[in-house]
Amino acid sequence: MKYVTLITLFFASISGFAQRSEDLVPEEAISVLSINNINLLQKISLDELAQYRFMEELHHEITDGSTAGWSLKDSGFDFDQKMNVFQGGTGDYFVTGMSFGIKDKERMFTIFDDFESIASNFSGVEMYASYFNRLAIQGENAIFFRIWTDFDLVSEITDSIWYSRGGGYRWEYYDDEYEGEYYEEWNEIESEEEVIAIPPPEEIEENLVTGKTYYELLDSVEVAMNEIYLEVFAQKLLVEKRNLKKANAEFANQLNSNSEGSYFVNNTQNFVNSNEFDWMQRRNPEVYKRMKDLYNGNILSGNFYIDDNTIKLDLKAQYGEELGSIYEKLGSAKFDKSFLPYINEDDIAYASFQADYENAYDLIYDTGMSIVTQSDREDMVAMSITFDILYAFLDKETLFETFKGSAFMSYKGIQKVKTKVIVFDYDEETFEYIEREEDAEEDMPVFTMGFATDNHDLINRIMRHSQRSLARYNHENASYLIEHENYWEITNGMLGSVSMYIINKNGVFILTNDENLAKEHSNGFGSNAIPKKRMKAARKGGSVYAYADMNRAIDELPKEMFNHRENEMLDVFRGKSGTVELTSAKSSGTKSDYALTYTFESEEDSGKYILDLINSLYVISN
């Protein structure tokens, strides 16, 4: 009997240390979405799955017709393992992909039917390729991924090779390439077939065919660099076992959760990899290093759970001690209830924000100065002087009496308004466009926003000065500032024809385009304000609170109001029902906790709602 027990324990230990799908999440990953309970998604069709942004790399494989009518349970995936979608990079190269367990390899390749087996340089690893995508299988797990090199790095190497070969200034190249003799040569070269081996970086130039145009050379360098970094990536992950679980303790800790899924974003690495700060790194390296140190340890992580018709997402924002001390002081603000009467019971969505800027003022100043004083460049010195003068002479009592740190906004819905548009008619006789104005009707979101203040007198004085300035203009669509008994009106303040209104009393400063609020309810909506239950929820909601009725909030918003990325986030919620509520706890030490609760009213598969939430988080993190 003891031998049976020993054998059982032996196999249990092997199982405990066996590689899992999360072991194939690379250390380069910046954001990871893990679905811990894939059983929730079994009924989701693969065609539906392909429409999600976080599955875009698999889109071609799923939508080629080979899996029509299939659901995820037909995929050959191991439903006892996590499915992990990730994106990230090192600054030199970027990677996106997905890791998962395999139950039935033959079934799985009906999805990945475009992949062909290629030679593997790694023992125990099967490699497959489809265009720029790769699929690596190690044991009972797989990683589907794509690598591409930072374009600035590709351009830098291409320029170096181009000029070393005597190539002319590339921006003047178009003038040459259309000359007859050279143009024929260019076309001839363009038709060449070329296979580039996987060289080490220093041999890139030696392996590239001469006689190429600049942009052909650019493409060749990019392909070669992608192959190099693909090998580097695979070597680190599949051979050296350098994964995110080993590199980041917070991610490793999340893997132990019993939630339906988890969310992880390394904002520190996002900062390091961001091209937006390249100019600062070159111009003020000391300032950049100080900001990098300040941002160290900045991680956003969370778990989501399903309970009947409710999805709850617990979010934890982590940061270093220095930022933590600021956030802790900011989070000590008391809830300001002065704006609650200005939120109507029929408002679709509203949010409040509380921050104790006065308490954190000195710490914010010290931190700001520790950044700008790192450099002796003129602009940084000028900024240091400005900060010191403002800190010394600014009347803090007046500042924080005017802006107390509490703010709110609400959204009522869409309203049709009359406006004017400029139309250009083409005159075929004169070949000119004739400009004319015509009446039109547009959708306008009705909103209200404001902040708490105890300095109405100063604000009114500023308004009257502005009134004098605007009075100078007399063109047809000019905006004027008009003082009424209980509110200010900005004529033609929106869409060139709609008035905006300002309410400055009762401890709030409000900007709105809700005419009814300004003219009829400048003291608040009274009994028509949000009910006491919702007021109580807002007061207990912490420094950040938001509430939205999904039945109306998203569907009524015209897509034309938002850019492509914003619409991607909103589209997954269009047509959905229920409510969303965001609450926050007090910041403490090096973290802040938030909770997002999504209560839906639908018989639709709950897995669909999980995917909607994951997709929104993925789009935001990208």
Query: What pLDDT is recorded for position 212?
Result: 76
Q: Which of 409, 407, 405, 408 has its CA nearest to residue 355?
A: 405
Task: Name which residue leads in pLDDT, 58 or 111.
Answer: 111
User: Which residues, in sequence order, are CB contacts of 214 under 8 Å at separation 6+?
Assistant: 158, 162, 167, 170, 173
Mean pLDDT, residues 578-607: 82
Which residue shows structure tokens 């029929």?
A: 346
The tokens for 457 are: 């007198």
Query: What pLDDT is recorded for position 443?
Result: 82
Residues 418 and 497 in one domain: yes
Quick check: 615 pLDDT over 80?
Answer: no
Q: What element of type H or E holds 239?
A: none
Quick check: 24 pLDDT over 70?
Answer: yes
Residues 304 and 270 in one domain: no
Q: Which amino acid is at 216?
A: E
Query: What pLDDT is recorded for position 47?
Result: 66
Residue 186 placed within a domain: no
Straight-line distance from the first to the last Cα atom of the chain, in angstroms, rounded to the nearest whole number:
56
Strand bridging mode 591-599 / 498-505: unpaired
Residues 113 and 132 in one domain: yes
pLDDT category at 13 given cuts 50, 70, 90 is very low
Residue 502 placed within a domain: yes
Per the DSSP assignment, residues forming a β-bridge with 594 are 315, 584
Tell me which of 279, 311, 326 is where a domain ends: 279
Task: Name which residue leads in pLDDT, 305 or 167.
Answer: 305
Longest dimension (CA), the chain: 103
**Residue 610 burial (10 A CB sphere; 0-12, 13-18, 19+):** buried
pLDDT category at 411 given cuts 50, 70, 90 is very high
Distance CA 294, CA 371 (A): 9
Query: What pLDDT is recorded for position 184?
Result: 39
Lowest-confidence pick of 76-80, 84-88, 146-150, 567-571: 567-571
Quick check: 5 pLDDT over 90?
Answer: no
Q: Can you tell me whether residue 454 is helix, strand or coil?
A: coil
Quick check: 399 pLDDT over 90?
Answer: yes
Q: Can you tell me whether residue 544 is helix, strand or coil?
A: strand
Mean pLDDT, residues 517-539: 94
CB 298 within 8 A of CB 323: yes
Query: What pLDDT is recorded for position 64?
Result: 56
Helix intervals (H) in 477-555: 515-520, 532-539, 550-553
Mean pLDDT, residues 159-169: 81
Ordered DSSP codes for 148-165: EE-HHHHHHHHHHHHHHT
Residue 341 placed within a domain: yes
Quick check: 160 pLDDT over 90?
Answer: no
pLDDT category at 441 given cuts 50, 70, 90 is confident
For residue 177, how many C-alpha atoms fall within 13 Å in the half-sphere facing its CB? Answer: 19
Query: What pLDDT is recorded for position 436?
Result: 82
Per the DSSP assignment, residues forming a β-bridge with 583 are 595
Q: Which amino acid is at 419?
A: T
Tell me which of 448, 476, 508 is where a domain ends: 508
CB 265 within 8 A of CB 30: yes
Residue 214 placed within a domain: no
CA angle 500/503/505 to nearest 5° reads 170
Residues 416 and 488 in one domain: yes
pLDDT in tens, 101-124: 999 998 888 878 888 999 999 999
pLDDT in tens, 172-206: 544 444 444 433 343 333 333 333 344 544 556 65
Residues 574 and 608 in one domain: yes
Residue 36 placed within a domain: yes
Which residue shows structure tokens 């608040």?
A: 524
Ordered DSSP codes for 263-285: EEEEHHHHHHH-GGGHHHHHH-H
Query: What pLDDT is recorded for position 311?
Result: 85
* Residue numbers of the domain that contains 450: 408-508
Q: Which of 227, 247, 226 has its CA nearest to residue 237?
A: 247
pLDDT category at 44 given cuts 50, 70, 90 is low
**Residue 332 burial (10 A CB sphere; 0-12, 13-18, 19+):** middle
Structural domains in the chain (count): 3
Residue 571 placed within a domain: yes
pLDDT in tens, 552-571: 777 777 777 677 766 766 66
Quick check: 440 pLDDT over 60?
Answer: yes
The tokens for 491 are: 């004529």
Query: What pLDDT is recorded for position 42?
Result: 60
For 283-405, list the strands marked E by DSSP.
299-307, 310-318, 349-354
pLDDT category at 40 given cuts 50, 70, 90 is low
Residues 48 and 135 in one domain: yes
Mean pLDDT, residues 492-515: 92
The tokens for 202 are: 């220093």
Query: What pLDDT is recorded for position 493?
Result: 87
Residues 365 and 426 in one domain: no
pLDDT in tens, 228-272: 999 999 999 999 999 999 999 999 998 888 888 888 999 888 888
Q: Which amino acid is at 228?
A: I
Instruction: Return the number of other C-beta atoms located less than 10 Å from residue 123's C-beta.
Output: 7
Residues 258 and 367 in one domain: no
**Residue 533 burial (10 A CB sphere; 0-12, 13-18, 19+):** exposed
Query: What pLDDT is recorded for position 535?
Result: 93
Q: Which of 482, 619, 601 has its CA nearest to residue 549?
A: 601
CA angle 276/560/442 to nearest 5° reads 135
Mean pLDDT, residues 371-396: 93
**pTM for the predicted model, two decimal places:** 0.77
Which residue shows structure tokens 């889109």?
A: 59
Residues 229 and 308 in one domain: no
Q: Can you tell me whether residue 409 is helix, strand or coil?
A: strand
pLDDT category at 432 given cuts 50, 70, 90 is confident
Residue 385 placed within a domain: yes
Per the DSSP assignment, residues forming a β-bridge with 440 are 419
Tell me which of 451, 478, 508 is where a domain ends: 508
Distance CA 410, CA 351 (A): 6
Distance CA 133, CA 146 (A): 5
Mean pLDDT, residues 314-326: 91
Residues 37 and 143 in one domain: yes
User: Which residues, in sequence order, are CB contacts of 588 under 8 Å at separation 6+?
Assistant: 328
Residues 234 and 362 in one domain: no
Residue 513 placed within a domain: no
Query: What pLDDT is recorded for position 12?
Result: 40
Mean pLDDT, residues 289-308: 88
Mean pLDDT, residues 437-447: 84
- Phi, psi (rounded to 5 degrees) for 453: -150, 150
Residues 113 and 244 in one domain: yes
Q: Which amino acid is at 140?
A: E
Distance CA 124, CA 136 (A): 10
pLDDT category at 128 given cuts 50, 70, 90 is very high
CB 363 within 8 A of CB 325: yes
Query: What average pLDDT is seen over the chain?
Result: 82
